[in-house]
Amino acid sequence: MQEEQQPEAAADPMSSSDAPEDGPKETSSISQNISDADAFKILLEMKLQKRQKRPALPSTVTELDTEDGSKVYVVGTAHFSDSSKKDVVKTIQEVQPDVVVVELCQYRVSMLKMDEKTLLKEAKEINLEKLQQAIKQNGVMSGLMQMLLLKVSAHITEQLGMAPGGEFREAFKEASKVPFCKFHLGDRPIPVTFKRAIAALSFWQKVKLAWGLCFLSDPISKDDVEKCKQKDLLEQMMAEMIGEFPDLHRTIVSERDIYLTYMLKQAAKQIELPRASENEPRKYIPSVVVGVVGMGHVPGIEKNWNSDLKIQEIMSVPPPSASSKIFKFVLKATFFGLLGYGCYRIGHRTAQFVLSMPATQSYLQRLTEVPQQ
């Protein structure tokens, strides 16, 4: 800290008792005359000086390079781990990145600004309102699948007493402290992932998977989470349940590996320096990116890093299959059938109760006596 304060003291015209009276005015006029380009360069130099050339990074960080010299540091995390939060903070502080990319999409961005208590409460509560919202947003099958996966997350949350996504919130906080650091959402939108996942399953596979998710109740400890630093806990549990469904693993894990890799490479484009005038030639410098993803995605990102990636295919949503249409019809028919039967039973019992009342019987008896008179 002393080394950083000394230049500021030397630059202060009031630090010397012999300074002329018009010193501050001159300094103020000089600062006002600095162009935006010069100010950017000064701040960028300060940032580069703070950036460690040989950063001491955690063992969970994988370093990747681009063809133009940019560097990407991928932090593999466990979504329910205090250790992962520390790894993210240390990495961002050491490398002073230009961009931070996290494994979130716009449908989950709210968790970045919510406090831990609110998130813990939200994660534990899975009610009818959330189910209706999920179905309205993603469709019947995808909405039900999303709620079942939320149940898995809620099960882990209840076991550990820890809200998910802590490493992403730490990344958001630390990125805001780094000058000129952008924050990007790097995951594929949830509706696309779930709709593609549902389309990859047959009717009986959907039933079997839903059954396995509904009856998940194995106890989990914090030690189990830390042991899973080499493979994210939530994704490991999912992998165990979907191991017999290779198409489902492809849509939920492998395709997202490709999407995350693509977004990291897009974030690692060279940075164009500001120009004092239009005549000045354009200058570029390599960028530094920090990616925060689940540990289960790191091998896939490394595998796809040097490939020519095209994400148009994995962003398309296939039309509903015949089994999905049948399941949807059966679900609606069952719902309305039960609703109608319930109304019938309630109405029947209500009618019997009303007719059995003495007042009702007396009134009916009077009505039958009137025609006879």
Work out the mean pLDDT of the chain and round it to a whole number.
Answer: 75
User: Domain map of the chain by residue range?
Assistant: 36-319, 324-369
Question: Which of 97, 71, 262 lies closest to 171 in space, CA to CA?
Answer: 97
Sign for the CA dihedral angle at 186, 192, 198, 201 comes to negative
* CA 246 – CA 234 distance, rounded (Å): 18
Rounded CA separation 199/317 (Å): 9
CA 253 vs CA 107, 256, 260, 313, 344: distances in Å: 18, 5, 10, 15, 47
What's the first-to-final CA gap in the chain, in angstroms? Answer: 110
- pLDDT greater than 80 at residue 149: no
| Rounded Cα gap, residues 28 and 41, in angstroms | 19
132 band by pLDDT with thresholds 50, 70 and 90: low
**Using CA atoms, how far apart are residues 3 and 16, in angstroms rounded to an integer?**
19
pLDDT of res. 205: 72
Mean pLDDT of 304-323: 83
Which of 39-43, 53-57, 208-212, 309-313 has the lowest average pLDDT?
208-212
Is pTM, for the whole model, over 0.85?
A: no
Q: What is the DSSP letter of 230?
A: G
High-pLDDT (> 90) share of the chain, %: 28
Residue position matching structure tokens 């501050």: 24
pLDDT of res. 144: 61
Q: Which long-range contacts (CB under 8 A, 24 or more apart) does 323-326 make?
A: 323/202, 323/203, 323/206, 324/141, 324/198, 324/199, 324/203, 326/203
Report whether 60 contacts 73 (CB < 8 A).
Answer: no
DSSP 254: I
How high is the pLDDT of residue 325?
A: 60
Name the DSSP class of 110.
G
Higher per-residue confidence, 133 vs 197: 197
**Cα–Cα nearest to 66, from 286, 258, 272:** 286
Nearest Cα to Cα of residue 293 among 251, 265, 256, 250:
256
Binned at pLDDT 50, 70 and 90, residue 108 comes out as: confident
pLDDT confidence of 260, banded at 50, 70, 90? very high
In this predicted model, what pLDDT tens digit does every residue of 271-298 receive, in sequence order? 888 777 788 888 898 999 999 999 889 9
In angstroms, rounded to a whole number, what is the distance separating the alpha carbons of residues 154 and 98?
34
The predicted pLDDT at position 268 comes to 96
pLDDT in the model for residue 229? 47
Using one digit for the tens of pLDDT, what is the confidence trace for 60-84?
999 999 999 999 999 999 877 788 9
